[in-house]
Structure 1
């Protein structure tokens, strides 16, 4: 009898999981994606300026054995083991993998209607259209001092815009102090005006300016919101246990605490009540491990606990410079980092390796490997409050480096 596995979400975690499930015969995998193309999300700041398309054809990254449905999941019906789709169709499953990813947060400031986003392909496309209607060299304010904000500000500055980066706190909070100083120096060299602390908190926006927390107004013909991520309400609205941000609460095997037939991966997963940094560096290993959990349950074997760790994060600051911050397996930064053109090269290699990892897994299921964190089992999980603070302070940290051919 064929086992029906439905994967909700066609991003890094969902595609990796769908490909890896092909390791075993007798499984019919259906992947539900709301976008017609695979979104290479770590390239969206490049899509805004036209230095990359930010997309890949699903036929390249997804196994041809996977059935793809262009739709959006609206509700999970556990009682009938089915998913209600936006089109009105129902998708039956024996096992369900939740990998619906994340989106940007909505600006909680006065004049939010004047603010653009960059965290999703729809938001990035809209920002590109706005910039195309704006006179070259206009003033742009990027709100958010995490990786997304830093990369977006640098990319815009290198393509001719006058950019202010309003951090609302510390620049690059997930970086080591040395890496932070390097990022600040590169931004300074690009003439990006970096505002930190209270003086860099935007409280209002209009079509021509932003207002800071200290009452000052600064010219801003385009304002970009690049701080914070949110997850779809699918888990909570379907009656599944979720954390304060809406992510599905799972055990260390990524299995839903309410239903052993449901697993989660990527940004929407909260293993043991905590969650890993929202990044494709976490999403791809989590996707692979969630698939292994399903394969183990189908085989009647106990699933394994999470093993993945981090190696660092790599930030592009334009096409010719960057910062490569090394990290401990638990994602805390090391004192070692690389800056300048070598770091930009490392980021580009990493971005290409991410796609190559999906392509290879589609052709050879089970080939993807990831760095391990031997201390994970011994560490207490973070509380929800700690996790919320982590997301707020560093909403857009990206992937690490490629070492020995493996995505780190």
Structure 2
């Protein structure tokens, strides 16, 4: 297949985040492949720095010229539909782009909070535009105004710490456990740092937010807390492009694929990043997963172009890195299959390590742009755990079907 005039295979990548840029760069290894990257913005967003944008210490953007290989066509537009039968995507501007292979890397964003008042009065920060919308709101609020951060995952913790370090009066509402991914030792370290910054941490099962008003929030235990600015970091959602396009997805809307990241509906569609659900057993939403997935997706496409069998997913994790303001942080080490270990690095060393990681991520993308095919972390073994989970699921499925028959 491919362009009958040039003999080239046209690959369209939807989404210019960590996974999409990695995939696009890697696809240029072959001279007989043309790559088009479609993204709604003209700059690359360092999503892991959006809390810094909110706090005023970084703009969280990088020019595509720094991370995207020359020769890749960047189309600044939004894909509104995928026509798998005709192998084309429709654009919001009214245009259409055809493809031989499609990499679906639309990423993730804020989840629909489904809490009364949250959509009207809370500020999500999962995208560049959302974080930019919050900045002037904080600037206009008095220094003593009560700021509430809802959600105690990495984004919530980082945002609360960033704002508290800047002198804000911050309450972090966990809705459960502080840093659910963290090992108890790592969690205690984070709690100590937040306390030192003056952050009030409300955790436990009764701290779920049940209502958001313009100047307050209500909790499950009946308490009402004043909140001049409410920042919402609880949960992520994915764009509904795959659902609207009639492709098979998981319950969250991520594209269902096999272990080679190939759509269960169409072998010319491959997914990567937060919007992929390989074997309905998706990885933790993170840039740590997104870049290897982007590399794996590109390798799958390249294998199919030359008629080879694609290699399966082989994901390894190192842990989780969380900044706690500019002067402290924590690197929580983990098993390769993404379960936290007791060991962590915190304090100033943790902050330096987090910054090293953030810079390293951009460098990985830039290096792949400079020398496509050089990235290799997606080949590091994650161990046998994923295969065990997949095998257990395959055994469980017939048993469940038998019980419901």
Instruction: Give the match for residue 310 of structure 2.
Output: 303
Instruction: Provide the rounded CA distance (Å) in 2 between the counterparts of 1:26 and 1:376.
Output: 37
Tell me which residue corresponds to 1:150. Answer: 157
Match of 1:391 in 2: none
Q: Counterpart of 1:124 in 2: which secondary structure? A: helix
Indicate yes or no: 2:239 matched with 1:257: no
Matched with 2:93 is 87
Aligned to 2:26: 20
CA distance in 1, matches of 2:316, 2:237: 23
> What residue is the counterpart of 2:192 in the other structure?
185
- Where do residues 239-318 of structure 1 align in structure 2 (5 Å cutoff)? 239-318=246-325
> Once the 2 structures are TM-superposed, how far is the Cα of residue 201 of structure 1 from its aligned partner?
1.5
CA offsets 1:92-145 (integer angstroms, 9 cap, x no match) = 000000000000113222222111011111110011121121112321000001
- Find the aligned partners of 1:289 and 1:35 in 2 and give their Cα distance: 24
Contact 1:167-1:200 within 8 A present in 2 as well? yes
Asked if residue 3 in structure 1 is aligned to residue 12 in structure 2, the reply is no
Matched residue of 1:307: which SS? coil
Gaps of 5+ in 2: 1-6, 394-405
Structure 2 distance, partners of 1:14, 1:84, is 18
Provide the rounded CA distance (Å) in 1 between the counterparts of 2:381 and 2:317.
8
1:6-405 paired onto structure 2 within 5 Å: 6-112=12-118, 113-370=120-377, 371-376=380-385, 378-381=387-390
Q: Aligned partners of 2:391, 2:204: CA distance in 1, in Å?
A: 25
Q: Which runs of 5+ in 1 are unaligned?
A: 385-408
Q: Distance in 2 between matches of 1:103 and 1:161?
A: 26
For the pair shown, the structure with the greater C-alpha radius of gyration is 2
Contact 1:314 1:347 in 2 (8 A): yes
Q: 1:380 is paired with a residue of what secondary structure? A: helix
CA distance in 1, matches of 2:313, 2:65: 29
Pairwise CA distance, 1:74:
0.9
Q: Does the 8 Å contact 1:273/1:381 carry over to 2? A: no
CA root-mean-square deviation: 1.3
Using the TM superposition, give the Cα deviation of residue 211 of structure 1 relative to its aligned residue in structure 2, in angstroms. 1.2
CA distance in 2 between partners of 1:22 and 1:39 (Å): 22
Displacement of 1:377: 5.2
8 Å Cα contact 1:170-1:196 kept in structure 2:
yes
CA contact (8 A) 1:142 1:165 kept: yes
Using the alignment, how far apart are the partners of 1:383 and 1:265 within structure 2? 24
Report the Cα distance in structure 2 between the residues aligned to 1:198 and 1:323, rounded to whole angstroms.
Answer: 25
Residues 274 and 382 of structure 1 are in contact (CA less than 8 Å); yes or no, is this contact kept in structure 2?
A: no
Q: What is the TM-score when the length of structure 1 is the normalising length?
A: 0.92
Shift of 1:183: 0.6
TM-score, L = length of structure 2: 0.93
Distance 2:137 2:391 in 1: 40
Residues 118 and 377 of structure 1: CA distance in aligned 2, closer, same or farther (over 3 Å): closer
Rounded Cα–Cα distance in structure 2 between residues aligned with 1:237 and 1:337? 43
